Chains A and B, each alone.
Chain A
Amino acid sequence: MEEEKKVEFRNPLRRNELDPNRWRSTQAGMWAWLWQRISALAIIVLLAIHVTLPYRPLIQFLLLLNVVFHVTLGLRVILLDFGLVNVKYQKALIGGLAALGVVIFVLVWNGIY
């Protein structure tokens, strides 16, 4: 019993380590979080292009679409953060708010052009 052999633990596994199924099993909530970060980066890039090349409908369209996407995901998190919507409706919020955002976007876009 006195023989003390140090057991070598393996370092904790990380999320994607050695696991081909991980991304296939990624759920809506995490995609929403991830895509909001990606859209934030896209907005920075598109905003820079928009400022240097103003009045280009294609760039404006992409920028506004990205902003709508980013805003709807952000509103969803705000609604969940302040307990205004129960967490169990989180998936419905992604689609619902995105659809609402796109409808408003199309109306505004048609109003401008």
Chain B
Amino acid sequence: MASHAPKSRIIKVFRYDPAAGGPGHFDRFELKTDDESLTTILDVLIRLQKTQDPSLAFRYACRVSMCGSCGMVINGREALACKTILADLKGDEVTIRPLNHFPVVKDLVVDMEPFFRKYEEGLTYFHAARELSEPALIRPDSRERQVIESSTECIACGCCVSSCTMANWHKDYLGPAALNRVFTLLADSRDGLHEERLARSLGSCYHCRTELNCTEVCPKEISATRAIKYIQMLAAKEAMKPGSTIRSDQRDTLRQGVPKLIPPQSTAPAALTPEPEDLLPAVPSPALASRREFLSRTTLGIAAITIAFLGSVLAATALAPTLRKRPETWVDVGKAEDFPAGSVKTAQISYPVKDGFYESTVNKPVFVSHQANPDQFTVFNSRCTHLGCMLRWDDGKNLFICDCHGGQFKPDGVVKAGPPPRNMDRYLTMVKDGHLFVQEA
């Protein structure tokens, strides 16, 4: 519980004198209050103005958080002065400064013109879809009304825009307050400017980075973030519709300046539902690529680069082994004199193999025949050409025999019997310095 005893506080108030100019400064005041739990910041400011500095400028009207005039930054956080109780503020000092993102007129008074310009850009007025003699009602318990929730309670104090960092960085961002208002109308089935309004907010609704500052500071406890998410979902659904004609015209509106809007009230009752085009400023055909076009082009571009990159890597890995020239490897089988004419002998060959980082030694038997061709050595691969079983030389039968399926080859490697589909495989041979070599591919 806050103490009810009299307490003294240092109040630091931002001062800016339009006559003097400059960046402005903070003035320190000391103020004693009888009961902080019954004192609002607005009370503090009024008392300072009456008792200490009559030139202190600030704005207020209703004093009961209905009008939205006294929005300011109190101890680093946006709030209504009339709703902020002094006892709720920790520390001995209270810092009061004007709202961010608005030109400062004097002291705590800001120019709200940018705020309401954004408001107008979003077409934030109701325009009936159908001409009705009686007001069309939306039942309070209907789903439509429940979705809109408390978003209609906005009092346009500007706290949310001041707290939003993106409102500072994106000049074409409508901002939380205007988008919240746009949301209440987009969700309203009686509204006749749905598409125009959606087109106005398309370009800027994605500037929201979900920081939720606006939701935190709103004195009416409205979540502008929720409203912006709703618009983003609408925009996404619209983008997925095949024949959608809604395009962002935010950029063009900005280039043209503030659209000259004719409020619906000023039209004659007979023309209650004019064509929406009559109300809207003419939007020239976009010279610059719209945000959506830019995004789809960028996405396609990135996709193309990715496919090209991955494709080239895959193609290179697939083609490189076939293009690479492998060095010829001649493997020593043994001395040529060890294989006399008219004999078939089994010899073991051994050679190193390098596959990537993996090095190993291959040991395998080969058949050396000096019989089939007396002038030349013939060296056969020892594997059966049927299913790759190891062959053996049978001296008695004078045949190469496969024990797996009964394949038989003659001494010159020609199939004699059994399932083998072709003759035995041979190696390229070479005799050098009395040694027999075979080429290993």
The chain A residues found within 8 Å of chain B, CB to CB, are: 7-15, 17-30, 33, 77, 80-83, 86-88, 90
Q: Mark B224-244, 1 if CB is under 8 A from A, else 0.
A: 011001101100000000000
Complex: how many Å from CA A23 to CA B165?
13
Given contacts A23-B76, A33-B209, A12 and B97 within 8 Å (CB-CB): no
Residues of B with C-beta under 8 A to A82: 233
A33 touches B210 (CB 8 A): yes
A-B contact pairs, 8 of them (CB 8 A): A12-B100, A13-B101, A15-B100, A19-B73, A20-B95, A27-B216, A86-B226, A87-B229
Q: A-facing mask of B105-143, CB < 8 A → 1, else 0?
A: 100001100000000000000000000000000000000
Residue of A nearest to B233 (CB): A83
Which one of A21, A30, A86 has the highest number of Cβ atoms from chain B below 10 Å of its Cβ? A21
A10, A22, A83, A87 interface centre (most CB from chain B within 10 Å): A10
What is the bound-complex CA distance between A86 and B210, given in angstroms?
13
Q: CA of A77 to CA of B105 in the docked complex: distance in angstroms?
A: 38
CB of B26 within 8 Å of the partner chain: yes
Chain A to chain B: the 3 pairs with minimum beta-carbon distance, closest first = A21-B76, A29-B212, A25-B76
Cβ of B168 within 8 Å of any chain A Cβ, yes or no, is yes
Let me know if B14 is at the binding interface, CB within 8 A: yes
Say which residue of A7, A10, A29, A83 sits within 8 Å of B23 (CB atoms): A10
The reply to whether B76 and A19 form a contact with Cβ atoms under 8 Å apart is yes
CB of B400 within 8 Å of the partner chain: no
B212 & A11 in contact (Cβ 8 Å cutoff): no
Whether A87 and B215, one on each chain, are in contact in the complex, defined by CB atoms closer than 8 angstroms, is yes
Q: Does B251 contact A (CB under 8 A)?
A: no
**In the assembled complex, how far is the CB of residue A99 from the closest CB belonging to chain B, in whole angstroms?**
20
Residues in A with CB closer than 8 Å to B95 are 19-21
- Measured CA separation A24–B165 after assembly (Å): 16
For A12, the chain B residues whose CB sits under 8 A away are: 100-104, 110
Interface of chain A: mostly helix, strand, loop or mixed: loop
Task: Beyond the given A8-B19, A12-B101, please list 19 additional residue pairs across the A-B interface where CB-CB is below 8 A.
Answer: A7-B18, A9-B104, A10-B24, A10-B103, A12-B103, A14-B101, A15-B100, A18-B24, A25-B76, A26-B76, A29-B211, A29-B216, A30-B211, A30-B212, A33-B210, A81-B210, A87-B223, A87-B225, A90-B225
CA distance A109 to B223 in the complex (A): 39
Least CB distance from B134 to A in Å reads 33
Known contacts A9-B105, A23-B76, A15 near B165 by CB under 8 Å: yes
Interface string of B1-44 (1 = CB under 8 A from A): 00000000000001010110101101000000000000000000
Which chain B residues border A33 with CB–CB below 8 Å?
209-211
Report the separation of the CA atoms of residues A17 and B77 in the bound assembly, to the nearest whole angstrom.
13
* Separation of A7 and B411 alpha carbons in the complex (Å): 113
Provide the bound-state CA to CA distance between A15 and B21, in Å: 20
Instruction: Name the A residues within 8 Å of B229 (CB-CB).
Output: 80-81, 83, 87
Given contacts A18-B97, A22-B76, A87-B223, contact A13 B104 (CB under 8 A): yes
For window 328-363 of B, CB contacts with A under 8 Å fall at: none
**Known: A11-B103, A12-B104. Is A90-B212 also a contact (CB below 8 A)?**
yes
Q: Please, how many angstroms separate the alpha-carbon atoms of A87 and B232 in the complex? A: 14
Determine the distance from Cα of A86 to Cα of B137 in the docked complex, in whole angstroms. 27
Evaluate contact between A83 and B230: CB separation under 8 angstroms: yes
Known: A18-B14, A33-B209. A10 touches B76 (CB 8 A): no
User: In the complex, A100 Cα to B76 Cα: how many Å?
Assistant: 33
In-complex Cβ contact of B212 among A14, A20, A27 (8 A) = A27
What 1/0 flags go to B193-225 for Cβ under 8 Å of A? 000000000000000011111011000000101
List of B residues within 8 angstroms of A28 by Cβ: 212
Residue of A nearest to B16 (CB): A10
Contacts of A24 in B (CB 8 A): 75-76
Q: Which residues of A contact B98 (CB under 8 A)?
A: 13
A18 to B215 Cα, complex, angstroms: 24
Knowing A9-B111, A87-B229 are in contact, say whether A29-B215 is a contact too (CB < 8 A): yes
B229 to A: closest C-beta gap in Å: 6
